Amino acid sequence: MTPAESPGARELAAAVQRLQDELTRLRSVLAARPLLDIATGMLAERLGCPPADAAAQLLTLAGQAHVGAAEFATEIVGESAETRVPAGPGPPGFRPESTAAQLSNDAQPMNDAQTAADAVLDQAGNLFGATGVLIWAVEPGGGLALAGAAGFSAAQRSAWRHIPPGVPTPAQHVARSGEEFGPRDSSDPSLGQADAPWRAALPIRRRARLLGVLELAWPDRPAELPGSARRQLRALAEICALSLPDLPGRETEGTSPSPVSVLDAVLDPAVLLEPLLGSEDVVADFRILRVNSRFLDPVGRPAHSLEGRTLIEAYPLACADGLLERLRRVHSTGEAIRGEKLRLTFLVGDLPQPTALEIAAARFDSKLILCWRSEESDAWQAMLLENAQRLARLGGFEEDLVTGTIRWNARLRELHGLPADAAPTPFAALPAHVHPDDEQAVRRLVRSVLRQRKEASAAFRLIRPSGLTPRYIRVVAEPVIDTNGRLVAVRGAYQDVSAHHWTEIALAATRERLADTEQQAAERHRLALRLQQAIMPPEPPPLDVAGLSVAVRYRPAAQEERVGGDWYDAVLLPDRTALLVVGDMAGHGVEAATGMVSLRNALRGLAVTGAGPARLLAWLNLAAGELTDPATATAICARYDPDSRELCWARAGHLPPLLVRAGQARLLPMPHGVLIGADPDSHYEEDSLRLEPGDVLLLYTDGLIERRDRSVEDSLHQLVDDLGQPSEDLDRFLDHLLDRSTADTDDDTCLIAVRVADN
């Protein structure tokens, strides 16, 4: 049998021929449209009825006369059909003595909804100022289809070809309620709503049956429509009824149920099919008229996209598997199919997907109702397997070593980069398709399975056709042994691990960079810590000559990697005065530690000049700006003269000193002074106080009191309230302060406490 003689080719050729015949028929119908319009108008005038009823009456009269609609219109107008209507072949099975129902189908294309929309816009624009007109046809199931549109762009019409039943639009409101809508500013979505938000909608009826909806649009609020204007709108809607077909399945009272009603009552997924006759009145195909609400397309398409297609167009492989032939037999013999199990193939994307179905079919009048139900276990297993293979990037194979038959799934062909019609690669030939560096590992895999007859696995780089990137693959294979102990087959799976491989490479590179970074950070930390320890003497120099006893404490940050820039200094100057300093360098690490060393040593050198604290901070501020790496810091600098017992101090953005006298603690005034290094022209003020014997002065950094959940002022007041009477041992006093500290910023802390000796 040649390819042209195969059943599939014959079905395709027949489908093409039907489409050509349909095109010829439509051309003939369009040519006859003016004659039908004239006849409809004449009937409406003679009978005194709306145009929609006149058109329906024309079809009824033509049916009773057993002539075509165009021929009957010729009789009404008084012209010859041969001179006004060009002859043309009819559709398959067309006869002049068509029934009234067939005449209705012939007449519908003559009443063009687009022409009606253009005409209504012309009238509505002149009468009411409308800028857009939409004609919606009611579909089986409650959806709306755009039959005609005027005043809107092609892009807008293309995006709104169909409105599902659940979408709230002005037209759907009318279709559900049967009542008129608007005009009003509608917030509901609709075609062109952004440009023309004001909408009015009216039902389109023929003989009290709802066929569609006429919708008008305005960009701005229209004038109020009087009763006469609304009557004119209703007349326009009646004219639009000429362009819409009757909704199938609407029965009149006292008639038997239609196929559509029966279809909706079926609990299983079902479709309503109309036979399409070919040559010699043989059914060539079926058209899908409607699917019920429970229908699920095996390919995953929405139901409305199937209605109107032929069965061969929608499911070509299933028809080739025998579905079409069985339905033909049901139609010709009237013998129903009840619960027959078939394995039909559906085209999912580019891949054929066999599916086990249980089908039932029965003839109803001239139509067929087809029900199918998937065998749930097969469907779920196939779906789970497909999803698992896709997510795990798996491809399976099986090779029959007796017959030489090799079976690959589609994903395995993708991994190899082979087209669907290419011959699969035998398992024994796999070493020839891998990277040379991996060839020995793959040979061991083949030898283990084929010779040693045991399961084995290997990872390698699979070389693919020119232009395709090699893939990193892991293969697991096992031998299949028959009852006689013979090796009869090999089966296994490929897994694409390329993404995992490249992730491992990226992680390895990241680990190396991280190790280098960690080593550098550790070295910087050790350097900063040693530098800090070197310049922070555990014990201050004695200040007995100045009449002071002193204690110092340095508490490093809770996180050792955060080496800070806090420092203290207590030194006896050549003129017997005592210099007391506490500072806090901004930042952490080596930079903060080296900056702190520079400022501390600079301040010591400047203090030898005998200048007061304010002058010393001003000089230190200038020096900070000249450092290689400019830095900022807070500091408080105090100078105590033992002869006059006068304490002078100045501050650069630091917390104030704290004085304890006779068991009462208080904060000393804060003279003006900004951060060191912030402004080279900064001016620093100085304050002074005469100390009494037994007074205790406390200098500290913010690491003692700072908390994230309260202000600095509240923390200072809490410190004053908790301080109490210092003990005679200043070291114990400072230890007590550190133990009672509630700071939570993990910052360094420096403390200096001095007590004025009794005379």
Q: What is the pLDDT of residue 674?
A: 92
pLDDT, greater one: 625 or 654: 654
pLDDT recorded at residue 350:
66
Helix (H, G, I), strand (E, B) or coil at 537: coil
Given this model, what pLDDT does residue 81 score?
35
CB 248 within 8 A of CB 140: yes
Neighbours of 637 (CB within 10 A): 30
What is the per-residue pLDDT across 445-476, written as a single tens digit (0 to 9) for each?
Answer: 999 999 999 999 998 888 888 777 888 888 99
CB–CB of 715/705 below 8 Å?
yes
pLDDT(579) > 60: yes
Spatial neighbors of 707 by CB under 8 A, at least 6 apart, are 715, 742, 743, 744, 745
Residue 639, pLDDT > 90, answer: yes
Q: Whole-model pTM above 0.85?
A: no
Q: Which band of pLDDT confidence, cut at 50, 70 and 90, is reported for residue 668?
A: very high
Question: What percent of the chain shows pLDDT beyond 70?
Answer: 77
Output the pLDDT for position 349: 64
What is the average pLDDT across 95-105? Answer: 33
Cis peptide before 183 (omega within 30 of 0): yes
Q: State the SS3 of 27-70.
A: HHHHHHHHHHHHHHHHHHHHHCCCHHHHHHHHHHHHHHHCCCHH
The pLDDT of residue 86: 37
More confident residue, 732 or 594: 732
CA 295 to chain CA mean position, Å: 28
| pLDDT one-digit tens code per residue, 337-386 | 888 888 888 877 667 888 888 888 888 777 888 888 776 545 555 565 66
The pLDDT of 569-578, averaged and rounded, is 90
**Mean pLDDT value of segment 607-628:** 87
What confidence tier does 99 reach under pLDDT thresholds 50, 70, 90? very low
- In the sheet that holds 749-756, the strands lie side by side as 548-555, 749-756, 696-700, 658-661, 664-667
Confidence (pLDDT) at 83: 35
pLDDT at residue 398 tops 90: no
Instruction: Report the C-alpha gap between 334 and 329 in whole angstroms.
Output: 8
Work out the pLDDT band at 417, boundaries 50, 70, 90: confident
- Lowest average pLDDT, out of 75-79, 467-471, 490-494, goes to 75-79
Predicted confidence at residue 698, as pLDDT, reads 93
**pLDDT class for 329, splitting at 50, 70, 90?**
confident
> Tokens for 573?
């100057």
Domains of the chain with bracketed CATH: 3-110 (no CATH), 113-243 (3.30.450.40), 259-376 (3.30.450.20), 390-496 (3.30.450.20), 537-756 (3.60.40.10)
Q: For residue range 116-156, list pLDDT tens digits in order.
A: 888 888 888 877 888 899 999 887 667 788 888 999 988 88
Comparison of pLDDT for 533 and 209, the residue scoring more: 209
Confidence class of residue 753 from pLDDT cuts 50, 70 and 90?
A: very high
Q: pLDDT: is 85 or 677 the higher one?
A: 677
Question: pLDDT at position 23, please?
Answer: 60
Task: At 708, give phi and psi (nearest 5°).
Answer: -75, -20
